[in-house]
Chain A
Amino acid sequence: MNVVEIDGVSQRYGRATVLHGLNLNLAPGEVLGLFGHNGAGKTTAMKLVLGLLRASAGQVRVFGRAPSDPHVRRWLGYLPENVTFYPQLSGVETLRHFARLKGAPMHQVDSLLEDVGLTAAATRRVKTYSKGMRQRLGLAQALLGEPRLLLLDEPTVGLDPFATQDLYRLLDRLRAAGTSIILCSHVLPGVEAHINRAAILTQGRLLALGSLAQLRAEAGLPTLIRGSGLQRVEVLQKRWSAAGHVTRPWGDEGLQVAACNGSKVELLRQLLAEDSPSDVEILAPSLEDLYRHYMNSHQITAQEAAL
């Protein structure tokens, strides 16, 4: 059974439609990355799953039930974008309050504070917390009661690179334990390794959905091969250009070639056979490249439709 099922959901605010016929499923233990610009409908999709909004059309099921079901909420953890708390309470008081509301065991509070690195600041008022600390407290709050579905809206905002890595490690641990996670973000670098599937939303429509490998195959973006410290840059460049590859000088004695459609290994072999590079870099298309690709192709189709 899927943890989340979104079937043909449209959402309208007054006359503005913010989601158009969205179809999205989430399997147990799966991490889904939801990417898009501001106003693409990411937060709206999350609010639908949380039962904060009722879909104007279509159906949302969470654990096979309606999202507004109180039982469902017991299994949910949610970290809102720009999370805020009661400024006059301390970190530990905040977590205790929310643990009571969720029916989570009290001993979990201390271990969660430890997990997010807030033990030292636990007795300080939340008012004095930095953005990153508030974010970490928000994460601890979302993890209360060991939720089976975790919804994280921009969880890395305000976190330093170390804390971001900690967060990703935590997500990996939760995923291994069978927690399903929906991760909303527009910060892309670094997240690839931690998600199973990516969904790209724009203007309330699903542009692309699939694992990174699927999206790469679908987009057909080239892998870039960069060799540096080459002796015979011109010869290689001439030969590859003649063969129809796109090349570009890279630094002083280097060359970059775009390998399309599985020509990567062949090009690499040629590079190593005909020259003796001091270093070779192979850049597979990143999530950011894929994102840009889908956004651009969407813009082009939209422009064509307008003409």
Chain B
Amino acid sequence: MSPVWNMARKEFCDGLRNRWLLAISLLFAVLAIGIAWLGAAAAGQLGFTSIAATIASLASLATFLMPLIALLLAYDAIVGEDESGTLLLLLTYPLGRGQILLGKFVGHGLILALATVLGFGCAMLAIALLVDDVELGVLLWAFGRFMLTSTLLGWVFLGLAYALSSRCAEKSTAAGLALGVWFFFVLVFDLALLALLVVGKGQFNPQGLPWLLLLNPTDVYRLINLSGFGTGTQSIGVMALGTDLDVPPQALWACLLAWVAGPLALAYGMFLRRGA
């Protein structure tokens, strides 16, 4: 078996052992089912409303949760092993730094993927079984896309977590920075963009501004999930910018994939520069 797979296996088993997989799956399932049935409560309705609305709510939720979970899972991947002394041992074994990193990514990535499929899959199953007049094809398509992009979003933040984990000398610093990364991409970025819109009062090139959304993986993620439902959904906040963005869905997918690859490459570079 290849060294990458052996590293991945250890990380995956750790995820099973410390109940991370179970906890994340349960959290996703409960939240997804809750949102599907209570999501429209604010509008005075109870029960399942529409697939589009459910996916929109779920995507907003996952935008917050997925990065946080990925960062929590992976922030100590390198610096934690270094602090506990096992990194020194690993580096003397016949496997390269790239293989160590990739192994961890595969292991953590599998945990996230499995938790997403288990958790949100349960919600999809519940909707399919309990709601009478739901279009199964649309449901499968929307949820499939949602689960896939959610996993990719998690992987983006795994890569970011490895990058800062390779950079930091102490676990506590890595934890702090991980929180900072989450804060920036999930909260600050969109607020800053909105502020730019309001303060700029149209001085900025209206064609250029929507492209800035591509600089934030969570925005790319939401753009993908909100598209394709026709005119039924209303975009709010910074997502409204996305309606001006004239790019095909494939480009958004490519952008999300690039967001997975970029931070991972960055992490590799950082890990190579780390002393033993």
Residues of A within 8 A of B (CB): 47, 50-53, 70-71, 73-74, 76, 78, 80, 82-88, 97-98, 100-103, 141
Contacts and interface: CB of A to CB of B under 8 A. Distances in A.
B276 A47 contact: yes
Given A88-B17, A101-B6, A73 B86 contact: no
Interface of B: 1, 3, 6-7, 9-10, 14, 17-18, 84-86, 88-96, 275-276
A102 B93 contact: yes
B1 A83 contact: no
Given A52-B276, A88-B18, A102 B94 contact: yes
Contacts of B89: 78, 80, 83, 98, 141
Given A76-B92, A88-B18, A141-B89, 17 more contacts: A47-B276, A52-B91, A70-B94, A74-B94, A78-B89, A80-B88, A83-B85, A84-B84, A84-B85, A85-B86, A88-B17, A97-B6, A98-B89, A98-B93, A101-B7, A101-B95, A103-B94
A84 B275 CA distance: 19
A101 B276 contact: no
- Find the residue from B85, B89, B275, B276 having the highest chain A CB count within 10 A: B89
14 contacts: A47-B276, A50-B92, A53-B275, A74-B94, A80-B89, A82-B85, A83-B85, A83-B89, A84-B84, A84-B85, A87-B84, A100-B1, A101-B6, A102-B94
Nearest to B276: A52
A123 to B, nearest CB: 14
Nearest to B17: A88
A83 B92 CA distance: 13
B7 to A, nearest CB: 7
Contacts of B92: 50-52, 73, 76, 78
A69 B104 CA distance: 22
A73 B1 contact: no
A80 B10 CA distance: 21
A59 to B, nearest CB: 19
Nearest to B18: A88
A97 B86 CA distance: 12
Contact of A86 (B6, B9, B84, B276): B84
Contacts of A80: 85, 88-89
Contacts of A97: 6, 10
Contacts, number: 56
A82 B93 CA distance: 18
Contacts of A100: 1, 6, 9
Return the 8 tightest CB-CB contacts between A and B, nearest first: A52-B276, A84-B85, A73-B94, A100-B6, A74-B94, A78-B92, A70-B94, A101-B93
Contacts of B95: 70, 101
- Find the residue from A47, A52, A53, A101 having the highest chain B CB count within 10 A: A101
B88 to A, nearest CB: 5
A154 to B, nearest CB: 14
Contact of A73 (B7, B17, B88, B93): B93
Contacts of B14: 86, 88
Nearest to B275: A53
B94 to A, nearest CB: 4
A86 B141 CA distance: 42
A239 to B, nearest CB: 60
Nearest to A141: B89
Nearest to B90: A101
Contacts of A98: 89, 93
A16 B266 CA distance: 30
B3 A101 contact: yes
B1 A71 contact: no
B79 to A, nearest CB: 15
Contacts of A51: 92
Contacts of B93: 73, 98, 101-102
Contacts of A71: 94
A232 to B, nearest CB: 62
Contacts of A76: 92
A216 to B, nearest CB: 35
Contacts of B88: 52, 80
A194 B92 CA distance: 25
A88 B13 CA distance: 11
Contacts of B85: 80, 82-84
A51 B88 CA distance: 11
Nearest to A53: B276
- Find the residue from B17, B18, B94 having the highest chain A CB count within 10 A: B94
